[in-house]
Chains A and B, each alone.
Chain A
Amino acid sequence: MHEADWSIIIAFYLFVAGMGVAAFYTGVLANLFSNDKYPRLAKYGSYIGVPLILLGVLMLVFDLGRPEAFWRFLFHLNPSSTMSVGVWLLTAFSIISVLNALTWLAEDAGESSVLAMFKDKPGLRRATGLTGLAFGILTAGYTGVLLSSTSTVFRSITPLMGMLFLVSATSTGIAVLMLALAWRKEDHHIIQKLAKADAVVIVFEVIIFVLFLINLNTATPEVAAAILSGSYSLLFWVGVIACGLIIPLVVELYSMSSGKGLSSSAAVPAIASVLILIGGFLLRYVLLFAGQSPL
């Protein structure tokens, strides 16, 4: 059998990069629209986003045939290449998000730290937050555009793939934020709010997914069949749909509508989050491999 040219490492890369940028921009968005009521979300998003995005970049580099030559990426810009555009987005986002994280770290590190130069820089924090928001959203979308413009299978089902990956990344970003908040035993009310936001995002994701599959079924029925009823069907229905979308949505809706008793337990959103992360990874895994099936 033909070995897949883009291995599971790339599925991890798409997952980790999307989750990282989304943790960052969901934190910024929440804080932005609440008029700085949730700086904590922005801070956590920044702390989570930076290591994840750096991990993602490392995975990308080490999966190259010649990792030592990765710098060539940075000395060339090919606007028609989604990879090229994406590498530049990733680079910009990494620098911006690291600066942003430093402004938070400087605060947490206390006096006399080496980070003193980043202390009390609300302007820098805001500027990096806003530009990071823009670059983050584009990066999350890029992961989908990359797969759809590169894989010959998905070329025909535009423009939904970029949108699907963006929305799915947002859901995983919110999930990882919820996990962090639950772990740090933060105010339950913030977690609840995130869970609500996530429920809305998941509803969008389901709608986009249905349209996506309809398109796929028209363009390449063989691949749609492989996903829906063939070799990927178990992973797809159990992993992507049940774990990643339906169960978390039900859990989130239930904990929203139920009384105080259950909804104040951090375990519920934490479970939903873990399921979302599993589903998010499997979504990328299934599409990456189905997208490489020979036609």
Chain B
Amino acid sequence: MADRMGMLIDASKCMGCRGCQVACKQWNDLPATKTAFSGSYENPPQIEGNTWTKVKFSEDRQSDGTVSFRFLKVQCMHCTEASCISVCASGAATRMDNGYVIIDQNKCIGCRNCVLACPYQAVAFDPATGTSRKCWSCQNRLENNLQPACVKTCPSGALGFGKREDMLALAKKRAQELKTAGKDAYIYGEKELGGTNIMYVLDAPPKVYGLPENPKPATAGVSTNWMGVLVGAGIMAFAPFKILFSDKSTGVNKTPEAGVNKNA
């Protein structure tokens, strides 16, 4: 198995220029979308079938009344416990040897299960192709020993790319630097969902940046839910049907019905 690669996004260095957003569109041949002003320079408002990465703007109102802007590049996190893979019924969403999660466009039938299941809203349906699409971490660049297009473009040094373990070490070092400088520091993606290939260094709690604090994979409750179905089936078959309809004698048996009426 190839080395597991990863990306580090240092939110404390991001200045919100959206170079990554444009570079992604260019490299992956994604058309622009026409959007309307939504009250914020954040644009488009969410990840789309043809917008695989974007910079999310969050306003963080401080206790003294000032507002600080937080910028966060978002895209598929390439989770270890990837919800998209576990819900995909056609086998289109898969993990590659190098740890990245991709959606095979020939196999995807556009059922959008993955779109609903992704804890990061990082995959979206593209009406133009009839399929769900998302960041594939520029596999065709990686194969040629190039960095993903977004990393290559970033002018502020907020994006780093390399072996995941190296990126994690870098994240820890950066967090330490921030703390030494008297700032808050958080690392996101080290443990979440089994560890994601994309990791963040944040200078405010993940919640402020709109990241889920405790993401759950889609497999979390499936078996208990099925147990619930069986229990429900058992109770129902027994109470209404067995009691009401069982007629061992001929004619209508009154007694059991009376019992049910009391319960009801």
Contact = CB atoms under 8 A, between A and B. Distances in A.
A15 B158 CA distance: 48
A117 interface: no
Contacts, number: 207
Contact of B222 (A80, A166, A189): A80
Interface string A23-65: 0001001110111011000000000000000000000000011
14 contacts: A64-B110, A65-B125, A66-B130, A69-B90, A70-B109, A76-B91, A83-B87, A145-B222, A151-B117, A155-B220, A159-B224, A167-B232, A196-B257, A201-B240
A160 interface: yes
Given A82-B87, A83-B111, A2 B46 contact: yes
A56 B246 CA distance: 32
Given A66-B110, A81-B89, A200-B239, A162 B229 contact: yes
B118 interface: yes
B125 A149 contact: no
Interface of A: 2, 5-6, 26, 29-31, 33-35, 37-38, 64-66, 69-70, 72-73, 76, 78, 80-84, 87, 137-138, 140-142, 144-145, 148-152, 155-163, 166-167, 170, 189, 193, 196-201, 203-204, 208, 253, 256, 291-292, 294-295
Interface in B213-227: 215-216, 218-222, 224-227
B248 interface: yes
A65 B110 contact: yes
Interface residues of B, number: 67
Nearest to B91: A76
A33 B125 CA distance: 47
B241 A197 contact: yes
Given A29-B245, A141-B233, A204-B236, A162 B212 contact: no
B248 to A, nearest CB: 7
Given A66-B130, A145-B229, A152-B119, 15 more contacts: A26-B241, A35-B246, A64-B109, A80-B218, A80-B219, A81-B86, A82-B87, A82-B222, A84-B88, A149-B117, A150-B117, A152-B216, A155-B216, A158-B221, A292-B116
A78 B110 contact: no
A142 B222 CA distance: 10
A197 B252 contact: no
A64 B212 CA distance: 28
A64 B91 contact: no
